[in-house]
Amino acid sequence: MKRRTLITGWLVATLAATAPAWAQVGPSPGEAAAYSGLHAAAQQGDAAKIARLAASGAALNATDARGRTPLHVATFARQREAIRALVKAGADINRLENDRYDAVTIASVADDEESLRLLLQLGASAKQTTSRYDGTALIAAAHLGHDGVVRQLIAAGAPLDHVNNLHWTATIESIVLGDGGARHQSTLKALIDAGANLQLADRTGQTPLALARSRGYSAMVAMLEKAGGQ
């Protein structure tokens, strides 16, 4: 058990140290200022210009140096009318950029519930495998304790028990990468209520309940025990 705890602790610490290099990368101010065409219109939220450019044959899924389409740019910028205009014109709503993030995951990581709600209403999928971790938007949101986002994604059919390449589920990430506070507790409750598998363990064999106990997250422990976690 001590060795397992050391391994898990090392992995969490390693992730914390390398997170900036592995995280989503939105357009920098310099990149945004240099945009033209649809990328510029998306960044600025100019829906009328998007419609005009689309009607004239502009490439809706053109990419910048990091593989971001105008839709990715609009999502990073929280430009919801631009999102709507791009999708109406035929932009690929589920496309991945170079780091393998889609618009749904971008909005989820940003805790941008309004943009996420719009994307899902427009037909975006909550089921895609995204990121270098082979994860999902739900796993990313659970990691961050974005409980409202988590509830939206669950309602949209996000896979509750997807296991990423760290061998973690959304339930496990809500514990091992969370702080045990109110929003991570709310996230865990949403996953439990939705029927997430509480017996799926990490690669060292520790279940969500064991992980919560090892961190002293008493509220999470109580929830998991009540739900039948072992």
Residues 116 and 83 in one domain: no
Whether residue 38 is contained in a domain is answered as: yes
Residue 114 lies in a domain: yes
In which domain, by residue range, is 212 found? 100-230
pLDDT at 47: 98
CA distances from 89 to 48, 59, 60 (A): 11, 10, 8
Helices (H), ranges, 35-166: 37-44, 47-55, 70-76, 80-89, 103-109, 113-121, 137-144, 147-155
Domain assignment present for residue 144? The answer is yes
Q: Do 122 and 78 have their domain in common?
A: no
86 plus 120 within the same structural domain: no
18 within domain boundaries: no
192 and 82, same structural domain?
no
Looking at the domain assignment, is residue 10 inside a domain? no
Q: Are residues 137 and 42 in the same domain?
A: no
Residues 6+ away with beta carbon under 8 Å from 118? 80, 83, 84
Q: Is residue 28 part of a domain?
A: no
Same domain, 200 and 138: yes
pLDDT at 174: 98
CB-based contact 71:92 (threshold 8 Å): yes
For residues 60 and 91, the answer to whether their CB atoms sit within 8 Å is yes
For position 12, what pLDDT does the model report?
A: 53
Task: For residues 219 and 156, give the distance between their C-alpha atoms in angstroms, rounded to a whole number.
Answer: 27
For residues 49 and 68, state if they share a domain.
Answer: yes
| Contact partners, residue 39, CB within 8 Å, separation at least 6 | 62, 64, 68, 70, 73
What's the pLDDT tens digit per position in 163-204?
999 999 999 999 999 999 999 999 999 999 999 999 999 999
d(CA 65, CA 86): 20
Domains identified in the chain, total number = 2
List the CATH number of the domain containing 188: 1.25.40.20
Q: Which of 42, 63, 92 is the last residue of a domain?
A: 92
Q: Is the pLDDT of residue 16 over 50?
A: no
- Kindly report, residue by residue over 28-84, the tens digit of the pLDDT: 999 999 999 999 999 999 999 999 999 999 999 999 999 999 999 999 999 999 999
In this structure, the answer to whether residues 182 and 69 fall within a common structural domain is: no
pLDDT digits (tens, 9 = 90+) for 126-168: 999 999 999 999 999 999 999 999 999 999 999 999 999 999 9
Residue 73 shares a structural domain with residue 111: no
Does residue 148 fall inside a structural domain? Answer: yes
CB neighbourhood size of 186 (10 A): 17
Confidence label for 96 from pLDDT (cuts 50, 70 and 90): very high
Compute CA distances 26 → 18, 77, 93, 101, 109, whole Å: 17, 8, 17, 11, 11
Domain boundary residue among 92, 114, 137?
Answer: 92
Q: Both 57 and 169 in a single domain?
A: no
Domain-embedded: residue 8? no
For CA atoms 116, 113, 31, 51, give the dihedral sign. Answer: positive
Predicted pLDDT at 18 = 40
Do 183 and 225 sit in the same domain of this protein?
A: yes
Query: Same domain, yes or no, for 88 and 109?
Result: no
Q: DSSP secondary structure string, 7-38?
A: HHHHHHHHHHHHHHHHS--PPPHHHHHH--HH
What proportion of the chain, given as a percentage, has pLDDT over 90? 88
As a whole number of angstroms, the distance between CA 159 and CA 93 comes to 19
